[in-house]
Amino acid sequence: MMSVFLSLALALIFGLLFTRLTSLLKLPDVTAYLIAGVLIGPYCLGQLGIPGIGFTSFEELENVGFISNAALGFIAFAIGSEFKLSQLKKTGKQALVIGVLQAVITTLVVDAALLGLHMLIGGKLSIPAAITLGAIASATAPAATLMVVRQYKAKGKVTDVLLPVVALDDAVGLALFAVSFGIAKAMSGGELDVYSIICNPIIEIVASLALGAVLGVILTQFERMFRSNRNRMAIIIGFVIATVGISMLKFHIGPVEVGFSSLLVCMMLGTVFCNCCPLADELMDLSDRWSAPLLALFFVISGADLELGVFADLAVVGIGVVYILSRCVGKYFGAFFSSALVNADPAVKKYLGITLFPQAGVALGMCVTASALPGDGAIIRNIILFGVLIYELVGPLLTKISLTKSGDIVAPGEEVVHRRERKLEAAKKS
**Which of 41-55, 78-92, 204-218: highest mean pLDDT?**
204-218
List, in order, residues 6 or more apart from 388 with CB less than 8 Å away: 306, 359, 360, 363, 364
Q: What is the pLDDT of residue 414?
A: 42
Please give the average per-residue pLDDT across 332-354, as a whole number.
91
Q: List C-alpha distances in Å: 44 to 16, 56, 222, 305, 337.
A: 18, 9, 46, 12, 43
Please give the average per-residue pLDDT across 40-51, as a whole number.
82
Q: What is the pLDDT of residue 95?
A: 85
Please give the average per-residue pLDDT across 342-368, as a whole number.
83
Please give the average per-residue pLDDT across 200-208, as a whole number.
81
Angle at 331 between CA 329 and CA 334, to 5 degrees: 95
pLDDT band at 211 (very low <50, low <70, confident <90, very high): very high
Q: What is the pLDDT of residue 418?
A: 47
Residue 417 has pLDDT above 80, yes or no: no
The whole-chain average pLDDT of the chain stands at 82
Q: Is 254 left (phi over 0), alpha (psi -120 to 50) or beta?
A: left
The model's pTM is 0.76
Strands annotated E in 101-231: none
